[in-house]
Amino acid sequence: MFTLESPLLAFQGFFGAGGSVLWVIFAATALMWTMIVERLWFFRYVHTKNLEAISKEWSFRRETSSWNALRIRRQLISGISLAVNRYVRIIQALMALLPLLGLLGTVTGMIQIFNVVAVAGTTNARLMAAGVSAATIPTMAGLVAALSGFWFAVYFRKRARLEVQKAGELLAIESERGERA
């Protein structure tokens, strides 16, 4: 029979077996995924409105080829670049940090195993198994968490580059003959 208590017990058992480093991995993963969801929301809802606004602002300009107009264009494109690249480097940094946190969990688990061997000898298999769990679970969790964000990190970097290029194309410069370049 399924109860609401059984998933909670499984969750507690997993985190208990993985050690304290697993909580740090969980927090870093939650932060990374919060930023990923924010970026998805931004590109889906906010960014299209930003592009429309700067495009409209640029189209109302009488001249688009003077030195001042080119500086304004550069400023608008820089604003878009800052907006689309927000949190991307943090997501990449967390993605790189998560496997290292997993390795830290491996080290703490191995230290736990060595403590068991030093105190109880090699005869206490139950305590040694707890150390092995504390060594392997954080490594697995760190790798899985990092891989879960890998595709999004690559996607956001590529999407940011394309959106900056699109902004540059939207803000066309009028040539001296009155043609849009």
pLDDT tens, N- to C-terminus, the chain (181 residues): 567 677 778 878 877 777 889 999 999 999 999 999 999 999 999 999 999 998 888 888 888 888 888 898 999 999 999 999 999 999 999 999 999 999 998 888 888 888 877 887 777 777 777 778 778 889 999 999 999 999 999 999 999 999 999 999 888 776 544 555 5
34 located within any domain: yes
8 located within any domain: no
80 located within any domain: yes
91 located within any domain: yes
Residue 107 near residue 179, CB atoms below 8 Å: no
> What's phi and psi for 65, nearest 5 deg?
-120, 0
Please state the domain count of the chain.
1
47 located within any domain: yes
101 located within any domain: yes
Name the nearest CA neighbour of 152 among 92, 97, 98, 72: 92
139 located within any domain: yes
Cα distances from 90 to residues 24, 87, 129, 181, in angstroms, run 16, 5, 36, 36
Domain hosting residue 60, numbered range: 20-170
- pTM higher than 0.85 for the full model? no
